[in-house]
Amino acid sequence: MKRVFIAIKVEPGGELLRMISSLKALLGAENIKWVDTVNIHVTLAFLGDTEEKRIKILVNMLKERYSGFHEFEFILAGTGVFKNFRDPRAIWVGIRSSEKLLMLSNITTDGLKENGFEIEDRQFNPHLTLGRIKSVKDTGNLTTVLERYMDSQIQIVHVNEVILYESILKQTGPLYKPLAKFPLS
C-alpha cells in the first residue's frame, strides 16, 4: 500500500517566496506548520492508501486521460484560510478561475470514478496550502496579515505535466516521491 495523490507541482517564483517569507515573519508567534517550498503543489485528487496493483491501473488510466491535453497557465492570486478566521486550520494561496485547470480536474476525477477509485465527493477548490495552523493566539493579526495579499496577483504558473506522488509521512514532515509523471503536449 502506498499513500498517493495526483498533483501539479508549483515552482515558487520570487514574489511567492517573498510573500511566504513575510507571512512566516509576521506570524512567527503563531503555531503554524509551514509547507516546505519544495512540496508546494495543487492537488487534483487525493487517493490515500492504494494497493500496488491499483497504482498500475491508475498510471495507465492517467496516461490515457492526459494524452492530447496541452500545456497551460494559471494565476496564483489572493490568500485566505480554511475553515474561517475565527477557527483557522490552513493558510492558502488562491488560483484565479482557470478553465483548463478545471478541465484537467474533471478529466482526472471522471477517470478515477470510472475505474472504481474512491475519492472525496466535493467540488474542486484549487489552491496552494502554505501552512497548517495548529493554534492562533491573535486572529486579528492573522486577518490583517492575510488581507495584505487578498487582492494580489502573486505568480503565473506554467503547467507542463501532472505528477502521481507517493506521500511518505515522516517526523520532519511529508516526503513527496514522484511515482509517475505525465507530460502535457
Residue 115 phi/psi, 5-degree rounding, is -100, 15
Residue 173 phi/psi, 5-degree rounding, is 125, 170
Domains and CATH numbers, the chain: 2-183 (3.90.1140.10)
Q: What is the pLDDT of residues 115-149, one digit of tens each?
A: 999 888 788 999 999 999 999 999 999 999 999 99
Question: Locate cell 494559471: which residue?
Answer: 74
Taking CA atoms, 44 is separated from 94, 112, 122, 150, in Å, by 14, 11, 12, 23
Percent of the chain with pLDDT over 70: 100
Q: What is the pLDDT of residue 172?
A: 84
Helix/strand/coil for 59? helix
Q: What is the pLDDT of residue 17?
A: 97
pTM value is: 0.93
Torsion of CA 19, 21, 22, 28, to 10 degrees: 140
Q: What is the pLDDT of residues 55-107, one digit of tens each?
A: 999 999 999 999 999 999 999 999 999 999 899 999 999 999 899 999 999 99
